[in-house]
Each structure stands twice: as C-alpha cells, then as structure tokens.
Structure 1
Amino acid sequence: MPNTRHITEFAGLPVAEFTSWESIRDDFDTAMRWARDRGEPHAELPPSHEPLFRALADPGSFAWRLRTVPPPYHFTLRGKGRPFETLPEYLDRFVELVPPRKVRALIVGHTPDGKGEMDAAQVAGELRERAPHWPELRSLFFGEILQSENEISWIDLSDLAPLVAAFPKLRRLVVRGGSGTLGLRLPEHRWLRELTVESGGLRPEVVRDVCASDLPGLRRLELWLGADEYGGGAAPEDLAPLLAGEAFPELEYLGLLNTEGVDSWIAPLAGSEVLKRVRSLGLGLGDLTDEGGRAIVEHADAFAHLELLDLHHHFLSEKVRTEIGAALPGVRVNLSAPRTPEEWDGELHYYTAVSE
C-alpha cells in the first residue's frame, strides 16, 4: 500500500527528515561529541545522524520532511504536560538551521497536536506565515502520514488554497488525507505543473473544485477517487469541465486512481475530449474487473494513441489481460499487481488498494 512507508524521494530529491527535538536531543549531543572527538564535524558521525548532517551541508539537494513526535513521547518542560518544543518552535528552528532560501521541497508529515492528531488548519497557517522564508519552494507534499500513524480517511485536512497561493513558484503539490473538510479550489496559479490528491474517498465537491481551479500550466493531474464508504462517490459529471477538454489545456497525464467502480469510468473516458489530448492515463489501484477490461478492448481506438495505460492493482482474468494487450499493441500497458477478490457470505468482493 502506498501509505505504509515513508517516501525516500520527492521531486527527484532524496528525503532528509528534520527530526523533532524531543527525539534527538540526547542522541544529538552524543553525535556532536562523536564528531568533535575525531576532529571532523561532519565526516564520522554515527550512521543514524550522517544523513541529517549531509543534508544540512547541502540543503538545496534534499527534500525536507517536517514531522514531530506524538505527545505520549514528548519530554516535558516548564510544567506538567508542556511539550519541550511546540510546532511554531519546531518550525522556527527549521528556518534557523536550514538556510530557507535553499529549500526547494517540503514534505509535511505527522505533526500531532496535544490530542495526538494533526490540526491541518494550524499547520497550514504556520507554514503560510513562514512562506516568505522559502521563496524558492517548488514542491510541497502536505499530509505524508502513514497508515500506522492515522488512517488516510481519518486525516482531517482544511482549506489548502491559501497555503498554495502563498507559494507562487510552486510546481508540484501532493495532498494526502480525508476530504470531509478539504478545500482545494485554487485561484490562478500559473506555475503549478503537477497536482496529486491521495484519498480513500474524495468528496465530489472537492473533485468539482479541482476541475474549476485556474491552473493553465497543469501537466499532470492525479485524483484518488476512492470509495463511497470513505467519503467518495464522484461521478463523471463531477469532472465535466475536465472530460470536455475545457480545463487544463496543457494536461499530459490524467490519473483517476484508487477508484471504486472504475469499470463504469471506461466508456465516459473513451468518449471524452481530454483522452484525445493526454499521453498517459492512470486507472490503477482500483477494482477494475473483466467488465471494465472488455470495455477497454471495445473502445480500443480511443486508447490506442496513449504511451502508457496504467492498470496496476486490478482483478482482470488472464484472458482479458491478453485481449487488452492484443487490442493495444502500441501502448505500454501496466498490468502488474493482479488481485483476487475476497469472498464474504458467498459473494465476491472487489476492493481498492487504499481505503480506510
């Protein structure tokens, strides 16, 4: 599952984590003594600290993950239950230690509040307040939270449009979480090239807001539509401006991933104007069955111009997989990660890759 481990690369850069003070303060002193005793401040550090010091020496060559320790593990200071370092203090330390004008990519991970949950509105507000410090920021991943930290549909987000507007040079935006409180109707942003929204269930209103956003330079759009049970339920009419070719004139890749009922999307996509324009189409992580596979074969002419058709994580029989390959000989079709339906009470159940 995509949300079971931290990414190690983002925006073409290796990831360095700016660790919260609570989890490193004792080991940090040990590391500094280790280096000082050897007379080489950055060369012979313990393996666990070497990546951080290497990143500090060349901060523009790394994507920086911001993640704090949950409250149960906080050291306390100046009174019972008071975290040693608050979120504002943590971010101020990051701005102080990592030359902000060299920062090009940020990953916002789990930053829990006093109740152990991330207050997305607070985090977005703190980042927006410090946005002038990062004038060269090009890539932002908001909500890189693992399943072990919080189920994807339980991650309460907020209206992120003001945060995006605070970074006018942003090229790449990835958002992960539930969509119940997510706002993503973006005002004119001429530089944004890639937008990904990862969710176990993407609310139709959010889908409509994305399609109504003014992003004239967008090249890649990936929406994880998810399942009805977790807040999804988007239908082709919710993407009407996109399917009609009216939105995002520069689009090259469209991904409708992690979609429940993806079989029903094949015919609308085949008849859409946007499919004629894009070079790659992603329908992976969903519950594609032989019904949808045969629809692809039936409408093969509409998909024949694609460079890539990504169907990974599917429930296609070997026979239908062969038929798709034969119908699209000039297309690279990703049919990896075949799945077997689960049987409950005598019925077969098909599932998306990321749900709760």
Structure 2
Amino acid sequence: MPNSHHIEEFAGLPVAEFASWEGIRDDFDTAMRWAHNRGELHEELPPSYEPLFRALADPGSYAWRLRTVSPRYRRPFETLPEYLDRFTSLVPGKKLRALVVGNLVEDEDDMDAERVVGELVRRAGGWPEVRSLFFGEVLQQENEISWIDLCDLAPLVAAFPKLRRLVVRGGSRELGLRLPEHRWLRELTVESGGLRPEVVRDVCASDLPGLRSLELWLGDEDYGGGATPDDLAPLLSGGAFPKLEHLGLLNTRGADSWVAPLAGSEVLARVRSLGLDLGDLTDEGGRAIIEHAGAFAHLERLGLHHHFLSEDVQAGIRAALPGVDVNLSAPQEPEVYDHCDTTELHYYTVVSE
C-alpha cells in the first residue's frame, strides 16, 4: 500500500528526515551534539543517526522530509516555528531542491495544514531553488488518508515559482487546488481515498500550460469521491493542459465506467501514457478496452496495476494492444460476503480506509 511506508526517494534524490526534538529527546548525547555542533559529523554517532548527519554535510543532494513526532500528552520540546527555524539554521536554504512535508504536529496528533502552509510560505523566499514538493506524506498508521485535513494549497504553490513537481496526499474536504498561472509546473499528483468533484474541477480549471503529467486518485464516493467525466470535461475535451503526455486516473472505485469516456476523449489521442492503476477494474472494463482498442493502440504504456481481470481478458488486452507496454501486475480476487441466501462480491481500490 503506497501510504504504508515513508518514501525513500523523491525527485530522484534520497530522502533525509530532519528529526524533531521529540524524535531524539530520549538520546541525550545525540541531542546535545546536534545543539552544540550544528549538524557536523562525529565518529561516535549512533548508526541510526549517521545518515542524517551525512545529509547535513551535503544538503543539496537530498530531498528533506519535515516531520515531527507527536508529544502525546507531554509538553513539546519545540513549537512548529522553532522546528522550522532550526531547519533553516542548519540546512542552507539556497541548496534546497526538494521538500517532503510529513506529519508536522505540535501538541496535537493531527497536522494543522493551514498553519503549516502559512509557516512554509513565510520561509519560501529563503528556499528559491525548490523544484519538487510533496505535501502530506502521512502514513496510514499516523492518519487515514481521507482524515488528513488539508487546506487551500494555491498560496503554497505560488510561493515556489520554480516548482516542477507537486504531490499532494490527503482528504479533499477542505482541499483547494485551483492554481493560478504557474508556468513551470510539469507534474501534479493528488493522492486521496476520495477526491471531491469540486477539487477535480478546480484542477482542470487551473492555468498550468507546461503540465506534462497529471495523476488524480479519484477514490471512493464513500470517502468523498464521486467525480464523473463531466467533472473532467475540460481535460477530456483536450482544452486543458496542451502539453500533457501522461494521464492517470488512479485508485478509482468504478474504474470500468471510465474506459468508454476515455476512449472517446480528445486527450487520449494526445497522451503517450495512461494509468488506471490501483483501482477495481474488472472484466467489464477490460472488455471495453478490447472493444475500443483502436483508441488505445498509440499509447506507449497502459497501466492496469492492481485489477480484477480474468486471465482470458488479460490475454485479450495484450493481443488487442501488441505495441503497447501493458502493466497487468498485481491481479486480485474479489472479497466474498455471504448474506443469508445471497453472495456479494466486493471489488476494492488499493487505498481507501
């Protein structure tokens, strides 16, 4: 499951986590070396801390994860501004290329996204070379994906004018992603257990003339999803994102219903790669791909990772698309529920709750 473990690489760089005081408070010697030596290397460092101190010696070669540990009923050692101030004092801002914003908490277990965005925007001028940003890299054991409360992220994106890659993870109840003109953004991914239709419409209405890759985790209506092809009309008609090369409608409940609209869309004829991964595609959707094979035949890659296709339908897709790299990995079996005299099959996405 993508949100079950922290990423180890982002934007082609290894990830280094900037530890909070809460994370090292039980290792007094390490904490004191950190405080008095400003991150310089020491031979006696415990092995678990050595990677972090090596990253501090070469900060531009790493993507930096900002994440604090909940104090859980104890007074925190430092506030969020103090944590970020310590980060800026130890990591030269002009060398930063990539940021991974994890679960930044203070005296609560849940992140206050609006407060975090405000603190990041306040410091963004000192990080002028940031090209890649992952906001909300929170694991399932920290918070269910649809319970990660987000906010309007347009001010954060605007604060990084050289941003090329943006990944957002979380619930979409308060999420705002109507982005004003951002000429440099090339890749946008929104990970959610249920992406609210209004957010989908806002993304499609954003002014992103250089966008080349768009991935939307549409998710499940039970967790805030429910987007339809009408919500993506500007995208499907080819009117949005003229340079788009890859489109992913991922983690989608009801993936079968998207095959025909995609096959008849203008955008499919333009892109080189299409992803329907992580969803609940069944033989109904697989047969629709075979029926509309001509619309998919120009693709270089078709992603169907995690599906409920029978072996016959998988073989049919491969035969209908001989020139396409089709990813049919991770076949699944539906869950079976017996109710009195009836049997119900349940098809599921990779990430929900």
Counterpart position of 1:318: 311
Counterpart position of 1:199: 192
Counterpart position of 1:103: 96
Q: Does 2:219 align with 1:226?
A: yes
Asked whether the equivalents of residues 105 and 138 of structure 1 are also in contact (C-alpha less than 8 Å), the reply is: yes
Q: What CA deviation, in whole Å up to 9, does each residue of 1:182-209 have, x standing for no partner?
A: 0000000000000000000000000000
Asked whether the equivalents of residues 31 and 45 of structure 1 are also in contact (C-alpha less than 8 Å), the reply is: no
Q: Does 2:210 align with 1:217?
A: yes
Counterpart position of 2:230: 237
Q: Does 2:345 align with 1:348?
A: yes
Give TM-score scaled by structure 1 length.
0.94
| Partner SS state of residue 48, structure 2 | coil
Asked whether the equivalents of residues 25 and 31 of structure 2 are also in contact (C-alpha less than 8 Å), the reply is: no
2 CA distance for matches of 1:30 and 1:206? Answer: 44
Gaps of 5+ in 1: 75-80
Letter in 1 for 2:276: L
Letter in 1 for 2:129: E
Counterpart position of 1:77: none
State the identity %. Answer: 79
Pick one of 181, 189, 192 that aligns with 1:188: 181
Letter in 1 for 2:348: Y
Asked whether the equivalents of residues 315 and 338 of structure 1 are also in contact (C-alpha less than 8 Å), the reply is: yes
2 CA distance for matches of 1:335 and 1:9? Answer: 24
Asked whether the equivalents of residues 199 and 226 of structure 1 are also in contact (C-alpha less than 8 Å), the reply is: yes
2 CA distance for matches of 1:132 and 1:115? Answer: 28
2 CA distance for matches of 1:32 and 1:49? Answer: 13
Letter in 2 for 1:272: S
Correspondence list, 1:229-308, <5 A: 229-308=222-301
Q: Does 2:147 align with 1:154?
A: yes
Letter in 1 for 2:236: L
Give TM-score scaled by structure 2 length.
0.95
1 CA distance for matches of 2:88 and 2:30? Answer: 23
Asked whether the equivalents of residues 31 and 46 of structure 1 are also in contact (C-alpha less than 8 Å), the reply is: no
Asked whether the equivalents of residues 32 and 41 of structure 1 are also in contact (C-alpha less than 8 Å), the reply is: no
Correspondence list, 1:88-127, <5 A: 88-127=81-120
Q: Does 2:16 align with 1:16?
A: yes
| Partner SS state of residue 268, structure 1 | helix
| Partner SS state of residue 71, structure 1 | coil
Gaps of 5+ in 2: none
2 CA distance for matches of 1:33 and 1:209? Answer: 47
1 CA distance for matches of 2:295 and 2:43? Answer: 57
Residue 73 of structure 1: how far off its partner (Å): 7.0
2 CA distance for matches of 1:353 and 1:243? Answer: 25
